[in-house]
Structures are given as C-alpha cells and as structure tokens.
Amino acid sequence: MENLNHKYLKILLIGYVAFGIVVGLILYYFIPEHYFSWYPVIPSYYSIIAVILYISLRHFREKNPSRMIHAYMMMRGIKLLLTILCVLLYNLYIDEKDDEFTIIISVFYFLYLAIETYLYFKFELSIKNEKKS
C-alpha cells in the first residue's frame, strides 16, 4: 500500500511539472505576448497543493478511513478558495497581464481537478480490490 501511495504522488507531481513546462514553453516561444513573469508560480503552487493533499489524505486514511471522502471534498473546497484568493491578490497587487494569469490559473485548476479526481478514483478502486484479495 505504501508503494501505491507514493506511485500516485509521483504521477501527480510529474504530470504537474511536465504540463507546467509544456504550457510555459508554448507561451514563451509561440505566444510571447501572453507570457508573464509570474507564470512559474502557477505550476509550483499546484505542486505544493498536491503534496498537501497527499499528506492530508494519508493522514485520514490512517486515522479515520471512513472520513476520507469528506477530507477529499474539504481539500477540494480549500483548493478552490485558495485559488480564488491567489487570483484576487494577483489582480490587486501585481499589474502584469491580469487576464492571462486568471485564464491560465483557471485552466490549470480544472485540468488538475480532473487529474486528481481520476487518480483518487483509481486509488480507491485499488484499495477496494486489495481488500478483496
């Protein structure tokens, strides 16, 4: 089970970094008018959030497995609120391509939400199958 947990974290982080690099390169080389200097913060932000999600879900898995889905949904809500807060702070205090930042962080949010939900579903299925064996 330990290897399974680390496998999903590695998939998340590698996927986040790879997607962040690809989008960054596309923005920088192919549409530089939309690239902004704060772009690297976005993939970093989501990578940190992924690690926090992983740690909290492991905690709930060990301490209170019956509440794990509640913890997962709570983390989804916290992630949404933090992302909205980041967009608001960026738009208020940093005057550099506000629209681009908002669009790109939103695209990352929804893509990562889909990836994390899929991996969470696969993780739960693998645990269920492991219990049957």
- Which of the four pLDDT bands, split at 50, 70 and 90, describes residue 1? very low
**Which of 86, 94, 6 lies closest to 46 in space, CA to CA?**
86
Full-model pTM: 0.81
Q: Provide the pLDDT confidence category of residue 133 given band limits of 50, 70 and 90.
A: low
Confidence of residue 4 (pLDDT cuts 50, 70, 90): low
CA distance linking residue 16 with residue 50, whole number of Å: 9
| pLDDT 10s digits, 78-116 | 999 999 999 999 999 987 888 889 999 999 999 888 888
The predicted model gives 54-74 an average pLDDT of 79
Write out the DSSP string of 21-38.
HHHHHIIIII-GGG--TT
Q: Radius of gyration of the chain from Cα atoms? A: 17
In the structure encoding, which two tokens stand for residue 10, read together? Answer: 């590695």
Residue 5: per-residue pLDDT: 61
> For residue range 17-57, what is the model confidence (pLDDT) as tens digits?
898 999 999 999 999 998 888 999 999 998 888 888 888 87
Average pLDDT over residues 57-69: 77
Q: What is the DSSP letter of 96?
A: S
Letter for the amino acid at 36?
Answer: F
Q: Which residues of 20-35 are buried (b: 16+ CB within 10 A; e: fewer)?
A: beebbeebeeeeeebb
Nearest to 55 by CA among 9, 121, 3: 9
Residue spans of the domains in the chain: they are 2-132
The predicted pLDDT at position 83 comes to 94
Helices (H), 1-133: 2-25, 41-63, 68-93, 98-132
CA-closest candidate to residue 50, choices 118, 121, 124, 113? 113
The per-residue pLDDT for range 102-112, each reduced to its tens digit, is 999 999 999 88
